[in-house]
């Protein structure tokens, strides 16, 4: 009971922090912009964490999934094909379907984790090539602008703040849902079994393939949903915004730095990465090189992440 209360307190604390945080920076829209971006990346990391951290499905196409969402929404709004709600629903469903299909395919074919990795890496390449290749629809390498989109009652807020609160709501809802799924249903046990050993998980009666494909479905839906919003938030939808290096790489670093298979890890990881990123902005294109280096060092020396470190040292109830 005590643990449930601790988790509930954590969640409330997160909600409090995330609703108050931007209010300190109201007169500097840039910081609010950075914060909003941080939240979007926390969501992307959440998706990756569920796929890779909890169910060991190495999806190297987080950026492409977000991109699928953004492009479908962006194109349908630009050409007036659908209303905003329908567009977001359709793009979420489309992304979820792709993620689910990839997951089912790799489970059916018993693809080892690396094959899923190769496969999804190829999807990233395919996504990029499709977007650049269909230049008359997608605007090719330079992308297209999407402007003047209304968020209903949130419109009274300044632009960045609107999307900040929208993204924060999505992130916190996703966190609350994950808390519920992991600690109040049998999913948590299933995840723990799968993380340890898939074969024995199957033996004790966990429906491994169902858990995996459902997780892929939900995580991809989250990615497509937030990707659609991210596209609207950036006002420009271009392939470089959803490239491997711009989305997948930071998301992976966030997950590994924060802690794989942990619900608070992405929050901590993204906060640290945002600060580092802002501090090193003057390096320009070298940032990516630095990301590669950070990832190498993290993997070699700090594979379990901050949450695991803290948990072992100080707070056994943290997870």
Partner 1 sequence: METSFLLFLVDGVVFGLILSLIAAGLTLIYGLAGVLNLAHGELLVICTATSAVLIQFLGLPLPAALAVGIVMTMGAAVFLEKILLQPVYRLEGEERTLLGLYLTLAFSIFLHSALIVTFPLAFLTVNIPAPSISIMGLTLRTAQVVAGIVSAAILAAVYIFLRKTWSGMAIRSLTQNETGALIVGVSVKRYRLFVFLLGALLVSLAGIIRSVVATVAPEGGIEFTILGLLVCVVGGIRSVYGTIMAGLVIGVVYTFLVVFIGTYLAYVALLIIIMALLLIRPYGIVGERL
Residues within the interface to partner 1 (CB under 8 A):
58, 105, 109-115, 117-118, 121-123, 125-126, 129-130, 132-134, 244-245, 249, 285-286, 288-289, 291-293, 295-296, 299-300, 303
CB of 21 or CB of 121, closer to partner 1: 121
Least gap, CB of 260 to partner 1 (angstroms): 11
Least gap, CB of 190 to partner 1 (angstroms): 18
Least gap, CB of 307 to partner 1 (angstroms): 18
43, burial (CB in 10 Å: exposed 0-12, middle 13-18, buried 19+): buried
Least gap, CB of 296 to partner 1 (angstroms): 4
CB of 50 or CB of 291, closer to partner 1: 291
Helix pair 265-279, 249-258: axis angle to 10 deg? 120
Q: Spell out the alpha helix ranges (H) of the chain.
A: 2-20, 29-48, 62-78, 84-108, 113-133, 135-138, 159-184, 187-196, 198-203, 208-234, 249-258, 265-279, 286-301, 305-313
CB of 83 or CB of 292, closer to partner 1: 292
As a whole number of angstroms, the distance between CA 62 and CA 158 comes to: 29
Least gap, CB of 252 to partner 1 (angstroms): 8
316: Cα separation from own chain's centroid? 26
Q: What residues form DSSP beta bridges with 236? A: 145
CB of 22 or CB of 259, closer to partner 1: 259
Rg of the chain in Å (alpha carbons): 19
CB of 21 or CB of 295, closer to partner 1: 295
């Amino acid at each position: 009971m005590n643990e449930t209360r601790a988790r509930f307190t954590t969640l409330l604390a997160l909600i409090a922090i995330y609703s108050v945080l931007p209010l300190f920076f109201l007169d500097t829209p840039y910081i609010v912009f950075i914060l909003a971006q941080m939240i979007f990346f926390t969501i992307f990391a959440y998706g990756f964490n569920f796929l890779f951290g909890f169910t060991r499905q190495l999806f190297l196409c987080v950026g492409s999934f977000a991109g699928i969402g953004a492009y479908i929404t962006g194109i349908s709004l630009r050409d007036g094909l659908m209303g905003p709600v329908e567009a977001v629903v359709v793009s979420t469903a489309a992304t979820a379907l792709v993620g689910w299909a990839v997951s089912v395919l790799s489970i059916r074919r018993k693809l080892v984790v690396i094959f899923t990795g190769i496969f999804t890496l190829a999807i990233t390449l395919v996504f990029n090539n499709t977007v650049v290749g269909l230049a008359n629809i997608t605007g090719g390498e330079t992308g297209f602008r999407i402007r003047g989109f209304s968020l209903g009652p949130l419109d009274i807020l300044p632009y960045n703040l609107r999307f900040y609160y929208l993204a924060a709501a999505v992130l916190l809802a996703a966190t609350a849902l994950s808390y519920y799924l992991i600690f109040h249903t049998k999913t948590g046990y299933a995840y723990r079994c799968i993380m340890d050993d898939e074969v024995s998980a199957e033996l004790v009666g966990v429906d491994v393939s169902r858990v995996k494909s459902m997780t892929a479905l939900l995580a991809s839906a989250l990615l497509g949903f937030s990707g659609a919003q991210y596209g609207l938030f950036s006002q420009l939808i271009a392939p470089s915004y959803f490239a491997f290096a711009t989305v997948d790489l930071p998301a992976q670093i966030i997950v590994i730095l924060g802690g794989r298979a942990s619900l608070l890890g992405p929050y901590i990881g993204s906060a640290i990465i945002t600060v580092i990123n802002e501090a090193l902005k003057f390096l320009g294109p070298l940032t990516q090189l630095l990301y590669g280096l950070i990832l190498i060092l993290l993997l070699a020396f700090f594979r379990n992440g901050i949450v695991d470190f803290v948990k072992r040292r100080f707070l056994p109830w943290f997870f």
